[in-house]
Chain A
Amino acid sequence: MATVEELKLRVRELENELIKCKQQQHNCAVEDAHSQALYRPKIDKMSAEVVDSNPYSRLMALKRMGIVDDYEKIRTFTVAVVGVGGVGSVTAEMLTRCGIGKLLLFDYDKVELANMNRLFFQPHQAGLSKVEAAEHTLRNINPDVSFETHNYNITTMDNFTHFMDRISHGGLEEGKPVDLILSCVDNFEARMAINTACNELGQIWMESGVSENAVSGHIQLIIPGETACFACAPPLVVAANIDEKTLKKDGVCAASLPTTMGVVAGILVQNVLKYLLKFGSVSYYLGYNAMQDFFPTMTMKPNPQCNDRYCRVQQEEYKKKEAEQPKVEVVQEEEEIVHENNEWGIELVSEVTDKELEAASGTVPDLPEGITVAYTIPAEDPVGGEIVEETERSLEDLMAQMKKM
Protein backbone atom coordinates (compact mmCIF):
# COMPACT_ATOMS: atom_id res chain seq x y z
CA MET A 1 0.00 0.00 0.00
CA ALA A 2 1.42 3.36 -0.98
CA THR A 3 1.22 6.02 1.69
CA VAL A 4 -0.18 9.48 1.11
CA GLU A 5 3.38 10.83 1.21
CA GLU A 6 4.52 8.40 -1.47
CA LEU A 7 1.55 9.28 -3.64
CA LYS A 8 2.22 12.98 -3.19
CA LEU A 9 5.80 12.41 -4.26
CA ARG A 10 4.64 10.44 -7.29
CA VAL A 11 2.22 13.20 -8.27
CA ARG A 12 5.07 15.70 -8.07
CA GLU A 13 7.27 13.52 -10.25
CA LEU A 14 4.54 13.20 -12.86
CA GLU A 15 3.89 16.94 -12.78
CA ASN A 16 7.55 17.56 -13.45
CA GLU A 17 7.55 15.18 -16.38
CA LEU A 18 4.51 16.89 -17.81
CA ILE A 19 6.19 20.28 -17.52
CA LYS A 20 9.23 18.93 -19.31
CA CYS A 21 7.15 17.41 -22.11
CA LYS A 22 5.26 20.66 -22.57
CA GLN A 23 8.50 22.56 -22.57
CA GLN A 24 10.04 20.31 -25.19
CA GLN A 25 7.01 20.67 -27.41
CA HIS A 26 7.06 24.37 -26.90
CA ASN A 27 10.76 24.59 -27.67
CA CYS A 28 10.38 22.61 -30.88
CA ALA A 29 7.52 24.77 -32.04
CA VAL A 30 9.36 27.92 -31.16
CA GLU A 31 12.56 26.80 -32.78
CA ASP A 32 10.80 25.83 -35.99
CA ALA A 33 8.74 28.94 -36.25
CA HIS A 34 11.00 31.77 -35.34
CA SER A 35 14.52 30.54 -34.92
CA GLN A 36 15.69 33.38 -37.11
CA ALA A 37 13.96 36.03 -35.08
CA LEU A 38 14.96 34.65 -31.66
CA TYR A 39 18.64 33.96 -32.00
CA ARG A 40 21.05 36.64 -32.98
CA PRO A 41 23.87 35.64 -35.29
CA LYS A 42 27.39 35.37 -33.94
CA ILE A 43 29.39 38.55 -33.85
CA ASP A 44 32.92 38.37 -35.22
CA LYS A 45 34.44 41.43 -33.66
CA MET A 46 33.31 43.42 -30.64
CA SER A 47 32.31 46.89 -31.70
CA ALA A 48 31.99 50.04 -29.63
CA GLU A 49 29.32 51.41 -31.91
CA VAL A 50 26.29 52.49 -29.91
CA VAL A 51 23.37 51.03 -31.81
CA ASP A 52 20.47 49.10 -30.34
CA SER A 53 21.62 45.91 -32.05
CA ASN A 54 25.10 45.87 -30.52
CA PRO A 55 25.16 43.83 -27.28
CA TYR A 56 28.71 44.94 -26.49
CA SER A 57 28.42 48.72 -26.80
CA ARG A 58 28.06 49.37 -23.05
CA LEU A 59 30.95 47.06 -22.25
CA MET A 60 33.17 48.62 -24.87
CA ALA A 61 32.31 51.99 -23.35
CA LEU A 62 34.56 50.95 -20.45
CA LYS A 63 37.44 51.39 -22.85
CA ARG A 64 36.34 54.79 -24.04
CA MET A 65 36.03 55.93 -20.47
CA GLY A 66 39.50 54.69 -19.68
CA ILE A 67 38.46 52.10 -17.08
CA VAL A 68 39.71 49.13 -19.08
CA ASP A 69 42.57 49.26 -21.59
CA ASP A 70 41.55 46.47 -23.89
CA TYR A 71 38.05 45.14 -23.27
CA GLU A 72 38.00 42.90 -26.38
CA LYS A 73 40.66 40.80 -24.73
CA ILE A 74 37.83 39.19 -22.73
CA ARG A 75 37.10 37.03 -25.79
CA THR A 76 40.49 35.32 -25.52
CA PHE A 77 39.91 33.96 -22.01
CA THR A 78 38.63 30.61 -20.82
CA VAL A 79 37.08 30.23 -17.39
CA ALA A 80 36.00 26.96 -15.74
CA VAL A 81 33.07 27.19 -13.32
CA VAL A 82 32.84 24.26 -10.94
CA GLY A 83 29.41 24.00 -9.35
CA VAL A 84 26.50 25.53 -11.27
CA GLY A 85 24.19 26.19 -8.33
CA GLY A 86 23.05 29.43 -6.71
CA VAL A 87 26.42 31.16 -7.13
CA GLY A 88 27.88 29.29 -10.12
CA SER A 89 24.91 29.74 -12.44
CA VAL A 90 24.78 33.50 -11.87
CA THR A 91 28.56 33.68 -12.24
CA ALA A 92 28.33 31.86 -15.57
CA GLU A 93 25.54 34.17 -16.75
CA MET A 94 27.54 37.29 -15.90
CA LEU A 95 30.61 36.02 -17.72
CA THR A 96 28.47 35.04 -20.71
CA ARG A 97 26.94 38.51 -20.89
CA CYS A 98 30.40 40.05 -20.59
CA GLY A 99 31.44 38.08 -23.69
CA ILE A 100 33.98 35.67 -22.18
CA GLY A 101 35.70 33.45 -24.78
CA LYS A 102 34.94 30.03 -23.38
CA LEU A 103 33.19 28.59 -20.36
CA LEU A 104 33.65 25.10 -18.98
CA LEU A 105 30.86 24.06 -16.63
CA PHE A 106 31.12 21.18 -14.13
CA ASP A 107 28.22 19.94 -12.00
CA TYR A 108 26.70 16.51 -11.32
CA ASP A 109 23.37 17.76 -10.04
CA LYS A 110 19.94 18.19 -11.59
CA VAL A 111 17.73 21.26 -11.45
CA GLU A 112 15.12 20.85 -8.71
CA LEU A 113 12.02 22.80 -7.81
CA ALA A 114 13.62 23.22 -4.38
CA ASN A 115 16.26 25.43 -6.07
CA MET A 116 13.70 28.01 -7.22
CA ASN A 117 14.49 30.44 -4.41
CA ARG A 118 17.73 31.06 -6.30
CA LEU A 119 18.38 32.97 -9.50
CA PHE A 120 18.88 31.70 -13.07
CA PHE A 121 17.12 28.34 -13.38
CA GLN A 122 13.41 28.13 -14.14
CA PRO A 123 10.74 25.66 -13.02
CA HIS A 124 10.35 24.11 -16.46
CA GLN A 125 14.02 23.02 -16.30
CA ALA A 126 13.44 20.80 -13.25
CA GLY A 127 14.87 17.37 -13.86
CA LEU A 128 17.41 18.49 -16.45
CA SER A 129 21.09 18.36 -15.58
CA LYS A 130 22.24 21.78 -14.38
CA VAL A 131 25.07 22.01 -16.90
CA GLU A 132 22.82 21.08 -19.79
CA ALA A 133 20.07 23.50 -18.77
CA ALA A 134 22.62 26.26 -18.15
CA GLU A 135 24.33 25.79 -21.49
CA HIS A 136 20.99 26.05 -23.29
CA THR A 137 20.06 29.31 -21.58
CA LEU A 138 23.54 30.83 -21.86
CA ARG A 139 23.92 29.99 -25.54
CA ASN A 140 20.69 31.85 -26.21
CA ILE A 141 21.94 34.86 -24.28
CA ASN A 142 25.26 35.01 -26.09
CA PRO A 143 26.08 32.68 -28.99
CA ASP A 144 29.60 34.10 -29.23
CA VAL A 145 30.71 32.16 -26.15
CA SER A 146 32.05 28.59 -26.51
CA PHE A 147 30.73 26.09 -23.98
CA GLU A 148 31.97 22.78 -22.70
CA THR A 149 29.91 20.97 -20.07
CA HIS A 150 30.65 18.01 -17.81
CA ASN A 151 27.88 16.38 -15.83
CA TYR A 152 29.82 14.57 -13.09
CA ASN A 153 31.15 14.75 -9.55
CA ILE A 154 34.78 15.87 -9.70
CA THR A 155 35.74 14.29 -6.36
CA THR A 156 35.72 10.65 -7.48
CA MET A 157 38.80 8.99 -8.97
CA ASP A 158 37.95 8.73 -12.70
CA ASN A 159 36.16 12.06 -12.87
CA PHE A 160 38.97 13.84 -11.08
CA THR A 161 41.50 12.59 -13.63
CA HIS A 162 39.26 13.82 -16.42
CA PHE A 163 38.73 17.14 -14.62
CA MET A 164 42.51 17.65 -14.31
CA ASP A 165 42.87 16.88 -18.01
CA ARG A 166 40.20 19.35 -19.07
CA ILE A 167 41.50 22.24 -16.97
CA SER A 168 44.99 21.70 -18.34
CA HIS A 169 43.88 21.29 -21.97
CA GLY A 170 40.40 22.75 -22.30
CA GLY A 171 41.33 26.34 -23.17
CA LEU A 172 39.81 28.28 -26.04
CA GLU A 173 42.62 26.96 -28.15
CA GLU A 174 42.34 23.21 -27.49
CA GLY A 175 45.41 21.89 -25.69
CA LYS A 176 46.02 25.10 -23.75
CA PRO A 177 45.09 25.34 -20.05
CA VAL A 178 42.10 27.37 -18.88
CA ASP A 179 42.92 30.87 -17.61
CA LEU A 180 41.03 30.66 -14.35
CA ILE A 181 38.96 28.20 -12.34
CA LEU A 182 36.08 29.42 -10.20
CA SER A 183 34.97 27.24 -7.33
CA CYS A 184 31.24 27.73 -6.79
CA VAL A 185 30.66 24.43 -5.02
CA ASP A 186 28.80 24.01 -1.76
CA ASN A 187 30.94 21.46 0.03
CA PHE A 188 34.36 20.99 1.57
CA GLU A 189 35.27 17.83 -0.38
CA ALA A 190 34.84 19.50 -3.76
CA ARG A 191 36.80 22.58 -2.66
CA MET A 192 39.63 20.37 -1.47
CA ALA A 193 39.55 18.45 -4.77
CA ILE A 194 39.84 21.71 -6.75
CA ASN A 195 42.64 22.82 -4.41
CA THR A 196 44.50 19.55 -4.97
CA ALA A 197 44.20 19.86 -8.75
CA CYS A 198 45.26 23.51 -8.80
CA ASN A 199 48.27 22.95 -6.55
CA GLU A 200 49.45 20.10 -8.77
CA LEU A 201 48.97 22.06 -11.97
CA GLY A 202 50.01 25.47 -10.61
CA GLN A 203 46.61 26.72 -11.76
CA ILE A 204 45.32 30.06 -10.46
CA TRP A 205 41.75 29.88 -9.13
CA MET A 206 39.15 31.72 -7.11
CA GLU A 207 37.18 30.19 -4.29
CA SER A 208 33.72 31.40 -3.34
CA GLY A 209 31.23 30.40 -0.71
CA VAL A 210 28.05 31.25 1.11
CA SER A 211 27.58 30.14 4.71
CA GLU A 212 24.97 27.54 5.60
CA ASN A 213 22.98 30.19 7.47
CA ALA A 214 22.84 32.24 4.24
CA VAL A 215 23.93 35.52 5.83
CA SER A 216 27.63 35.60 5.02
CA GLY A 217 29.91 34.72 2.15
CA HIS A 218 33.37 35.25 0.74
CA ILE A 219 35.60 35.11 -2.31
CA GLN A 220 39.31 34.29 -2.35
CA LEU A 221 42.01 34.41 -5.03
CA ILE A 222 44.46 31.55 -4.76
CA ILE A 223 47.78 31.66 -6.61
CA PRO A 224 49.56 28.37 -5.81
CA GLY A 225 52.83 29.01 -3.97
CA GLU A 226 52.20 32.73 -3.66
CA THR A 227 49.06 32.98 -1.51
CA ALA A 228 47.58 30.59 1.03
CA CYS A 229 45.87 27.60 -0.56
CA PHE A 230 42.58 26.16 0.67
CA ALA A 231 44.44 23.56 2.75
CA CYS A 232 46.94 26.00 4.31
CA ALA A 233 44.59 26.82 7.20
CA PRO A 234 41.30 25.47 8.53
CA PRO A 235 38.36 26.85 6.50
CA LEU A 236 37.93 30.60 7.01
CA VAL A 237 34.52 31.91 7.94
CA VAL A 238 33.08 35.39 8.00
CA ALA A 239 31.71 35.85 11.49
CA ALA A 240 28.07 36.82 11.11
CA ASN A 241 27.89 37.90 14.74
CA ILE A 242 24.99 35.60 15.46
CA ASP A 243 24.60 34.15 18.90
CA GLU A 244 25.12 30.43 18.38
CA LYS A 245 22.59 29.72 21.11
CA THR A 246 19.84 31.43 19.16
CA LEU A 247 20.82 29.79 15.88
CA LYS A 248 18.53 26.82 15.47
CA LYS A 249 20.07 24.25 13.21
CA ASP A 250 17.84 21.38 14.25
CA GLY A 251 15.77 20.11 11.41
CA VAL A 252 17.60 21.73 8.49
CA CYS A 253 21.03 21.48 6.89
CA ALA A 254 21.29 24.77 5.16
CA ALA A 255 19.36 27.91 4.37
CA SER A 256 19.88 29.95 1.21
CA LEU A 257 18.99 33.41 -0.05
CA PRO A 258 19.11 34.60 -3.67
CA THR A 259 20.39 37.96 -2.40
CA THR A 260 23.49 36.64 -0.63
CA MET A 261 24.26 34.30 -3.52
CA GLY A 262 23.80 37.13 -5.99
CA VAL A 263 26.13 39.42 -4.02
CA VAL A 264 28.80 36.72 -3.80
CA ALA A 265 28.50 35.93 -7.52
CA GLY A 266 28.76 39.67 -8.20
CA ILE A 267 31.93 40.23 -6.17
CA LEU A 268 33.41 37.03 -7.60
CA VAL A 269 32.90 38.03 -11.24
CA GLN A 270 34.00 41.59 -10.48
CA ASN A 271 37.26 40.15 -9.19
CA VAL A 272 37.53 37.92 -12.27
CA LEU A 273 37.10 40.87 -14.63
CA LYS A 274 39.63 42.96 -12.72
CA TYR A 275 42.09 40.09 -12.71
CA LEU A 276 41.70 39.17 -16.39
CA LEU A 277 41.37 42.67 -17.84
CA LYS A 278 43.83 44.25 -15.40
CA PHE A 279 41.95 47.16 -13.88
CA GLY A 280 41.39 48.27 -10.30
CA SER A 281 42.87 46.20 -7.49
CA VAL A 282 42.22 42.51 -7.27
CA SER A 283 41.06 41.18 -3.89
CA TYR A 284 42.85 38.24 -2.32
CA TYR A 285 40.12 37.65 0.22
CA LEU A 286 36.89 39.57 0.46
CA GLY A 287 34.26 38.61 3.01
CA TYR A 288 30.60 39.63 3.12
CA ASN A 289 28.74 39.84 6.40
CA ALA A 290 25.12 40.43 5.42
CA MET A 291 23.91 41.00 8.98
CA GLN A 292 26.03 44.13 9.50
CA ASP A 293 26.90 44.91 5.86
CA PHE A 294 30.56 44.53 6.62
CA PHE A 295 33.18 43.50 4.02
CA PRO A 296 36.43 42.37 5.68
CA THR A 297 39.48 41.94 3.42
CA MET A 298 42.91 40.41 3.85
CA THR A 299 45.73 38.54 2.16
CA MET A 300 47.27 35.39 3.55
CA LYS A 301 50.68 33.88 2.94
CA PRO A 302 50.93 30.16 2.28
CA ASN A 303 51.66 27.87 5.21
CA PRO A 304 55.17 26.33 4.89
CA GLN A 305 53.80 23.28 6.74
CA CYS A 306 50.72 22.95 4.54
CA ASN A 307 49.39 19.37 4.38
CA ASP A 308 49.29 19.53 0.59
CA ARG A 309 52.65 18.43 -0.75
CA TYR A 310 52.20 20.28 -4.04
CA CYS A 311 51.40 23.48 -2.16
CA ARG A 312 54.83 23.21 -0.54
CA VAL A 313 56.43 22.46 -3.92
CA GLN A 314 54.73 25.52 -5.43
CA GLN A 315 55.98 27.64 -2.51
CA GLU A 316 59.55 26.58 -3.27
CA GLU A 317 59.08 27.39 -6.95
CA TYR A 318 57.69 30.78 -6.09
CA LYS A 319 60.60 31.54 -3.76
CA LYS A 320 63.08 30.59 -6.48
CA LYS A 321 61.28 32.75 -9.01
CA GLU A 322 61.25 35.66 -6.59
CA ALA A 323 64.98 35.28 -5.89
CA GLU A 324 65.76 35.35 -9.60
CA GLN A 325 63.83 38.56 -10.09
CA PRO A 326 66.20 41.49 -10.57
CA LYS A 327 66.07 43.69 -7.51
CA VAL A 328 64.28 46.67 -8.97
CA GLU A 329 62.48 48.83 -6.53
CA VAL A 330 59.28 46.93 -6.47
CA VAL A 331 56.47 48.37 -4.49
CA GLN A 332 56.20 45.16 -2.54
CA GLU A 333 52.58 44.21 -2.19
CA GLU A 334 52.34 43.97 1.57
CA GLU A 335 51.52 40.37 2.34
CA GLU A 336 50.75 41.23 5.89
CA ILE A 337 47.21 41.15 7.03
CA VAL A 338 45.23 44.33 6.76
CA HIS A 339 43.61 45.17 10.04
CA GLU A 340 40.41 46.99 9.47
CA ASN A 341 39.16 49.27 12.18
CA ASN A 342 36.44 47.52 13.99
CA GLU A 343 34.03 50.40 13.87
CA TRP A 344 31.04 48.19 13.48
CA GLY A 345 31.47 46.66 16.87
CA ILE A 346 31.73 43.22 15.43
CA GLU A 347 33.07 40.64 17.77
CA LEU A 348 34.96 37.57 16.79
CA VAL A 349 32.48 34.80 17.25
CA SER A 350 33.78 31.30 17.38
CA GLU A 351 31.65 29.00 15.26
CA VAL A 352 32.66 26.16 17.55
CA THR A 353 30.81 26.51 20.80
CA ASP A 354 31.33 23.07 22.26
CA LYS A 355 33.43 23.61 25.36
CA GLU A 356 35.12 20.30 24.94
CA LEU A 357 36.32 21.20 21.49
CA GLU A 358 37.50 24.60 22.65
CA ALA A 359 39.61 22.99 25.30
CA ALA A 360 41.38 20.97 22.61
CA SER A 361 41.82 23.98 20.33
CA GLY A 362 44.95 24.94 18.52
CA THR A 363 46.13 28.46 17.85
CA VAL A 364 43.98 30.77 15.79
CA PRO A 365 45.90 32.40 12.92
CA ASP A 366 46.20 36.16 12.99
CA LEU A 367 43.12 37.29 11.10
CA PRO A 368 41.46 40.68 10.73
CA GLU A 369 38.24 41.52 12.52
CA GLY A 370 35.27 39.77 11.06
CA ILE A 371 37.14 36.74 9.71
CA THR A 372 37.82 33.65 11.74
CA VAL A 373 38.44 29.94 11.25
CA ALA A 374 35.69 27.34 11.30
CA TYR A 375 37.80 25.34 13.74
CA THR A 376 41.41 24.97 14.85
CA ILE A 377 43.81 22.05 14.75
CA PRO A 378 45.76 21.48 17.95
CA ALA A 379 49.48 20.87 17.62
CA GLU A 380 49.50 17.50 19.36
CA ASP A 381 47.34 14.49 18.60
CA PRO A 382 44.02 14.95 20.34
CA VAL A 383 42.86 11.35 20.46
CA GLY A 384 45.25 8.74 21.72
CA GLY A 385 44.53 5.10 21.41
CA GLU A 386 45.19 1.79 19.90
CA ILE A 387 46.54 1.64 16.36
CA VAL A 388 45.82 -1.12 13.83
CA GLU A 389 48.45 -3.78 14.13
CA GLU A 390 50.78 -5.04 11.44
CA THR A 391 49.23 -7.93 9.60
CA GLU A 392 50.48 -10.61 7.27
CA ARG A 393 47.00 -11.12 5.90
CA SER A 394 46.17 -10.07 2.36
CA LEU A 395 43.60 -7.46 1.43
CA GLU A 396 41.48 -10.12 -0.29
CA ASP A 397 41.53 -12.13 2.90
CA LEU A 398 40.33 -9.18 4.97
CA MET A 399 37.65 -8.32 2.43
CA ALA A 400 36.39 -11.89 2.53
CA GLN A 401 36.28 -11.86 6.32
CA MET A 402 34.30 -8.63 6.37
CA LYS A 403 31.87 -10.03 3.84
CA LYS A 404 31.23 -13.12 5.98
CA MET A 405 30.47 -11.17 9.15
Chain B
Amino acid sequence: MADESARRAVSQIPLLKTHAGPRDRALWPQRLKEEYQSLIRSVEQNKHEDNDWFRLESNPDGTRWTGTCWFIHELLRYEFRLEFDIPVTYPDTAPEVAVPELDGKTAKMYRGGRICLTDHFKPLWARNAPRFGLAHLMALGLAPWLAVEIPDLISKGHVVHRERPREEAQ
Protein backbone atom coordinates (compact mmCIF):
# COMPACT_ATOMS: atom_id res chain seq x y z
CA MET B 1 0.00 0.00 0.00
CA ALA B 2 2.65 2.41 1.08
CA ASP B 3 4.04 3.01 -2.37
CA GLU B 4 4.92 6.49 -3.47
CA SER B 5 1.77 7.21 -5.48
CA ALA B 6 -0.56 6.13 -2.67
CA ARG B 7 1.42 8.18 -0.20
CA ARG B 8 1.18 11.23 -2.45
CA ALA B 9 -2.53 10.70 -3.07
CA VAL B 10 -3.17 10.59 0.66
CA SER B 11 -1.04 13.60 1.46
CA GLN B 12 -3.24 15.65 -0.86
CA ILE B 13 -6.47 14.76 0.88
CA PRO B 14 -7.35 17.25 3.61
CA LEU B 15 -7.53 15.73 7.08
CA LEU B 16 -10.67 16.06 9.20
CA LYS B 17 -10.98 17.72 12.59
CA THR B 18 -14.25 16.74 14.21
CA HIS B 19 -14.26 13.52 16.19
CA ALA B 20 -17.92 12.60 15.88
CA GLY B 21 -19.91 9.61 14.70
CA PRO B 22 -23.54 9.41 13.54
CA ARG B 23 -24.82 8.93 17.11
CA ASP B 24 -23.43 12.31 18.08
CA ARG B 25 -26.39 14.45 17.07
CA ALA B 26 -24.68 17.74 17.90
CA LEU B 27 -21.40 17.25 16.07
CA TRP B 28 -22.18 14.78 13.28
CA PRO B 29 -23.44 17.50 10.87
CA GLN B 30 -20.09 19.27 11.27
CA ARG B 31 -18.19 16.03 10.64
CA LEU B 32 -20.38 15.42 7.59
CA LYS B 33 -19.51 18.83 6.19
CA GLU B 34 -15.83 18.03 6.61
CA GLU B 35 -16.34 14.68 4.87
CA TYR B 36 -17.90 16.43 1.88
CA GLN B 37 -15.19 19.10 1.80
CA SER B 38 -12.52 16.44 1.85
CA LEU B 39 -14.27 14.33 -0.80
CA ILE B 40 -14.79 17.33 -3.09
CA ARG B 41 -11.12 18.25 -2.86
CA SER B 42 -10.13 14.67 -3.49
CA VAL B 43 -12.26 14.37 -6.62
CA GLU B 44 -10.99 17.74 -7.89
CA GLN B 45 -7.45 16.59 -7.33
CA ASN B 46 -8.07 13.30 -9.10
CA LYS B 47 -9.56 15.14 -12.08
CA HIS B 48 -6.60 17.47 -12.12
CA GLU B 49 -4.25 14.50 -12.29
CA ASP B 50 -6.35 12.81 -14.94
CA ASN B 51 -7.17 10.04 -12.50
CA ASP B 52 -10.85 10.64 -11.79
CA TRP B 53 -12.14 7.31 -10.54
CA PHE B 54 -15.04 7.54 -8.07
CA ARG B 55 -18.19 9.43 -7.05
CA LEU B 56 -20.02 9.17 -3.74
CA GLU B 57 -23.20 10.61 -2.32
CA SER B 58 -25.12 10.06 0.88
CA ASN B 59 -28.64 10.11 2.23
CA PRO B 60 -29.53 13.39 3.98
CA ASP B 61 -28.29 12.26 7.40
CA GLY B 62 -25.06 10.93 5.93
CA THR B 63 -25.37 7.39 7.28
CA ARG B 64 -25.73 5.54 3.98
CA TRP B 65 -23.44 6.14 1.03
CA THR B 66 -23.72 5.00 -2.55
CA GLY B 67 -21.73 5.78 -5.63
CA THR B 68 -19.70 4.42 -8.47
CA CYS B 69 -16.06 3.71 -9.06
CA TRP B 70 -14.41 2.90 -12.33
CA PHE B 71 -11.23 1.30 -13.46
CA ILE B 72 -9.46 1.62 -16.79
CA HIS B 73 -7.87 -1.58 -18.04
CA GLU B 74 -6.32 -1.81 -21.49
CA LEU B 75 -8.15 1.33 -22.53
CA LEU B 76 -11.51 -0.04 -21.51
CA ARG B 77 -13.51 1.47 -18.71
CA TYR B 78 -15.11 -0.86 -16.18
CA GLU B 79 -17.63 0.70 -13.84
CA PHE B 80 -18.98 -0.67 -10.56
CA ARG B 81 -21.60 0.43 -8.11
CA LEU B 82 -20.42 0.77 -4.52
CA GLU B 83 -22.20 1.21 -1.21
CA PHE B 84 -21.63 1.26 2.52
CA ASP B 85 -23.20 2.26 5.83
CA ILE B 86 -21.50 4.43 8.40
CA PRO B 87 -21.07 2.20 11.47
CA VAL B 88 -22.06 3.63 14.87
CA THR B 89 -18.40 3.45 15.88
CA TYR B 90 -17.23 5.66 12.98
CA PRO B 91 -14.69 7.31 12.74
CA ASP B 92 -12.86 5.00 15.16
CA THR B 93 -13.63 2.15 12.78
CA ALA B 94 -13.80 2.50 9.01
CA PRO B 95 -16.96 1.59 7.08
CA GLU B 96 -16.96 -1.65 5.13
CA VAL B 97 -17.07 -0.78 1.45
CA ALA B 98 -19.08 -3.16 -0.69
CA VAL B 99 -19.06 -3.69 -4.44
CA PRO B 100 -22.16 -5.93 -4.57
CA GLU B 101 -21.97 -6.87 -8.24
CA LEU B 102 -18.62 -8.59 -7.65
CA ASP B 103 -19.97 -10.69 -4.77
CA GLY B 104 -19.12 -14.34 -5.28
CA LYS B 105 -16.56 -13.61 -8.02
CA THR B 106 -13.46 -13.21 -5.89
CA ALA B 107 -12.19 -14.73 -2.66
CA LYS B 108 -10.93 -11.30 -1.62
CA MET B 109 -14.41 -10.42 -0.46
CA TYR B 110 -16.59 -11.12 2.51
CA ARG B 111 -20.27 -11.95 2.08
CA GLY B 112 -22.38 -9.19 0.66
CA GLY B 113 -19.57 -8.02 -1.59
CA ARG B 114 -17.62 -6.28 1.17
CA ILE B 115 -14.05 -5.89 0.04
CA CYS B 116 -11.26 -7.53 1.98
CA LEU B 117 -8.83 -4.80 2.97
CA THR B 118 -5.10 -5.37 3.32
CA ASP B 119 -3.40 -6.01 6.64
CA HIS B 120 -2.05 -2.50 6.43
CA PHE B 121 -5.33 -0.68 6.22
CA LYS B 122 -6.72 -1.24 9.71
CA PRO B 123 -3.58 -0.18 11.62
CA LEU B 124 -3.24 2.82 9.34
CA TRP B 125 -6.85 3.82 9.93
CA ALA B 126 -6.60 3.27 13.70
CA ARG B 127 -3.45 5.38 13.90
CA ASN B 128 -5.00 8.23 12.03
CA ALA B 129 -8.47 8.21 13.56
CA PRO B 130 -10.35 10.53 13.68
CA ARG B 131 -8.46 12.55 11.08
CA PHE B 132 -8.99 10.13 8.21
CA GLY B 133 -12.33 10.35 6.44
CA LEU B 134 -14.17 8.73 3.58
CA ALA B 135 -11.83 10.19 0.97
CA HIS B 136 -8.96 8.39 2.70
CA LEU B 137 -11.03 5.21 2.74
CA MET B 138 -11.41 5.48 -1.02
CA ALA B 139 -7.71 6.18 -1.66
CA LEU B 140 -6.23 3.69 0.81
CA GLY B 141 -8.91 1.02 0.92
CA LEU B 142 -10.81 0.78 -2.33
CA ALA B 143 -8.20 2.03 -4.85
CA PRO B 144 -5.50 -0.57 -4.04
CA TRP B 145 -8.14 -3.30 -3.93
CA LEU B 146 -9.43 -2.41 -7.41
CA ALA B 147 -5.87 -2.16 -8.75
CA VAL B 148 -5.14 -5.74 -7.71
CA GLU B 149 -8.50 -7.43 -8.14
CA ILE B 150 -9.98 -5.97 -11.32
CA PRO B 151 -7.18 -6.93 -13.72
CA ASP B 152 -7.23 -10.40 -12.17
CA LEU B 153 -11.01 -10.70 -12.50
CA ILE B 154 -10.81 -9.53 -16.12
CA SER B 155 -8.05 -12.01 -16.96
CA LYS B 156 -10.11 -14.83 -15.45
CA GLY B 157 -13.17 -13.73 -17.39
CA HIS B 158 -15.18 -13.04 -14.23
CA VAL B 159 -15.54 -9.41 -15.22
CA VAL B 160 -16.46 -8.75 -18.82
CA HIS B 161 -16.74 -5.36 -20.46
CA ARG B 162 -20.42 -4.63 -20.99
CA GLU B 163 -20.36 -2.40 -24.05
CA ARG B 164 -17.81 -0.95 -26.35
CA PRO B 165 -15.50 1.58 -24.77
CA ARG B 166 -16.93 4.99 -24.13
CA GLU B 167 -14.90 6.85 -26.70
CA GLU B 168 -16.32 4.67 -29.46
CA ALA B 169 -19.83 4.71 -28.10
CA GLN B 170 -20.03 8.49 -28.39
Contacts and interface: CB of A to CB of B under 8 A. Distances in A.
Given A157-B23, A189-B96, A387 B15 contact: yes
Interface in B38-73: 38-41, 43-44, 55-58, 63
Contact of A193 (B57, B88, B104): B88
A360 B40 contact: no
B16 A398 contact: no
B27 interface: no
Given A160-B88, A383-B128, A395-B32, A388 B107 contact: no
A155 B85 contact: yes
Interface residues of A, number: 52
A386 to B, nearest CB: 5
Contact of B127 (A153, A360, A385): A360
Interface string A337-364: 0000000000000011010110010000
Contact of B17 (A3, A196, A254, A388): A388
Contact of B22 (A109, A157, A188, A399): A157
Contact of B55 (A376, A383, A399, A405): A405
A381 B131 contact: yes
A3 B127 contact: no
B17 to A, nearest CB: 6
B15 A386 contact: yes
B158 A386 contact: no
| Contact-residue size bin, chain B (C-beta under 8 Å from the other chain) | 35 or more
Interface in B111-128: 111, 116, 119-120, 122-124, 126-128
Interface of B: 2, 10-11, 14-17, 22-23, 29, 32-34, 36-41, 43-44, 55-58, 63, 85-89, 92-96, 104-105, 107-111, 116, 119-120, 122-124, 126-128, 131, 157-158, 160
Interface of A: 3, 5, 9, 109, 112, 153, 155-157, 160, 187-189, 192-193, 196, 231, 234, 249, 251-254, 307, 351-352, 354, 356-357, 360, 374-378, 381-383, 385-389, 391, 393, 395, 398-399, 401-403, 405
